[in-house]
Amino acid sequence: MTRTVGQVRADVEEASRWLAGRVVRTPVLRSPVIDELAGARVLLKAENLQNGGSYKMRGALRAVGRLAMAGHTGVIAQSTGNHAVAVALAARQHGLAATVVLPVDAASTKVDRARAAGARVVFAGTSVEERVAVANGLSDESGHPVVDAYDHPDVIAGQGTASLELIEDAERAGTPLDALVVPVGGGGGVAGACLAAAGSGIEVYGVEPVGCDSLARSLAAGVRVPVTPAPTIADGLRPSCVGELPFAIVRDTLRGVVRVDDEEIAAAFRLILTELKVLAEPSGAAGLAGALRLAPARDRQRTVGVVLTGGNVEEALVARLMAPRSADLAEEGAAA
């Protein structure tokens, strides 16, 4: 029997109750400068401060916890990094073995975090298809289940709790959300956001890098459309195709998808670092880039929520992304 969105939304609420005390209830941040640029109130959920450095911890902990209760002794995951780190940490908490499959070009920060959490790290190509094939083979050999990065109901419900907390905190502050903006990789986070916002009247938007827009193309076509991901600084937002379960959830509930380029993502990254004084990775900063793209409405009574999904970023990339700001300041100083 097909479950209704309301029934599945209850999974997010149940996950939220289960995760209470197990994950950080991350703060909601705000900047007058960002509000001015957006022409609206912008509330940013700082999941870059979450255990493991990203909101992936929520879905991983929920999924791995349920598998542990079912008697499994190990888990397998594949991702570009953050989900793998989160599964490794969740497995360690529950005393399970973890094997994570990463691309050969995975950020060393994420590789190191997965290993530090006790996971066995296996490298496989650069595409999601290569990683999935290896993960499934390892599962067949070991009997350990694969915790999919986005095509898994517990992962979606867990990740949806970040959006649910943001909705709740905005209401408590007297500034209920009119819109909610979430970066899109495989779609698990934005699907969770749609479930968390179900029945509230909140418009949910996804954000994809230009050339990594499987969800936008899929919504236009009415069926899932794979893409060959273009290069982007947002390494966590480049799966070749939106997940089957996320697409089934968002196809009739998502307000729209905003495409942003690397220049916009980099500008959002700098804003977050300089105005909010926190470090987000480009994939997380993409949400703010998308919210600023929605700025033409310029309704100062409108409240827009943004999930800063992660903060695991290479030092060298931070230096490179901040370089344009340094150059601008040097030019200003020379002109003074």
| Judgement on whether residues 164 and 24 belong to the same structural domain of the protein | yes
Of the chain, the percentage scoring pLDDT greater than 70 comes to: 93
Q: How many CB atoms lie within 10 A of CB 324?
A: 13
pLDDT at 296: 57
d(CA 88, CA 100): 7
pLDDT at 81: 85
| Judgement on whether residues 116 and 214 belong to the same structural domain of the protein | no
| Judgement on whether residues 261 and 113 belong to the same structural domain of the protein | no
| Judgement on whether residues 121 and 165 belong to the same structural domain of the protein | no
Report if residue 191 sits inside a domain.
Answer: yes
| Judgement on whether residues 135 and 178 belong to the same structural domain of the protein | no
| Judgement on whether residues 285 and 190 belong to the same structural domain of the protein | yes
| Judgement on whether residues 13 and 90 belong to the same structural domain of the protein | no
Report if residue 328 sits inside a domain.
Answer: no
Average pLDDT value for residue range 5-16: 82
Q: Residue 287 corresponds to which tokens in the numbers above?
A: 């949400």
| pTM confidence score | 0.91
Question: Average model confidence (pLDDT) for the chain?
Answer: 91
Domain containing 103 equals 73-142
Q: Tell me: the pLDDT tens digits for 282-298?
A: 999 999 999 999 865 55
Q: Please determine, for residue 336, whether its predicted confidence score (pLDDT) is greater than 50.
A: no
Report if residue 196 sits inside a domain.
Answer: yes
Long-range pairs for 317-324: beta carbons < 8 A, 24 or more residues apart = 317/233, 317/282, 318/273, 318/279, 321/233, 321/266, 321/269, 321/270, 321/282, 322/270, 322/273, 324/266, 324/270
Q: Please determine, for residue 322, whether its predicted confidence score (pLDDT) is greater than 50.
A: yes
| Judgement on whether residues 213 and 315 belong to the same structural domain of the protein | yes
pLDDT at 297: 53
Q: Please determine, for residue 13, whether its predicted confidence score (pLDDT) is greater than 50.
A: yes
Of the three residues 90, 117, 142, the one that is the final residue of a domain is 142
Report if residue 103 sits inside a domain.
Answer: yes
Of the three residues 90, 118, 142, the one that is the final residue of a domain is 142
| Judgement on whether residues 98 and 226 belong to the same structural domain of the protein | no
CATH number at residue 181: 3.40.50.1100
Q: Tell me: the pLDDT tens digits for 70-122?
A: 999 999 999 988 999 999 999 999 999 999 999 998 888 889 999 999 999 99
Report if residue 275 sits inside a domain.
Answer: yes
When divided into structural domains, the chain yields a total of 2
| Judgement on whether residues 108 and 256 belong to the same structural domain of the protein | no
pLDDT at 128: 83
Give the model's confidence band at 137: pLDDT under 50 very low, under 70 low, under 90 confident, else very high: very high
Q: Tell me: the pLDDT tens digits for 193-220?
A: 999 999 999 999 999 999 999 999 999 9
| Judgement on whether residues 111 and 21 belong to the same structural domain of the protein | no
d(CA 219, CA 125): 28
Of the three residues 84, 109, 142, the one that is the final residue of a domain is 142
For 277-289, b/e burial (b = at least 16 CB within 10 A) is ebbbbbbbbbbbb
| Judgement on whether residues 313 and 171 belong to the same structural domain of the protein | yes
Report if residue 314 sits inside a domain.
Answer: yes
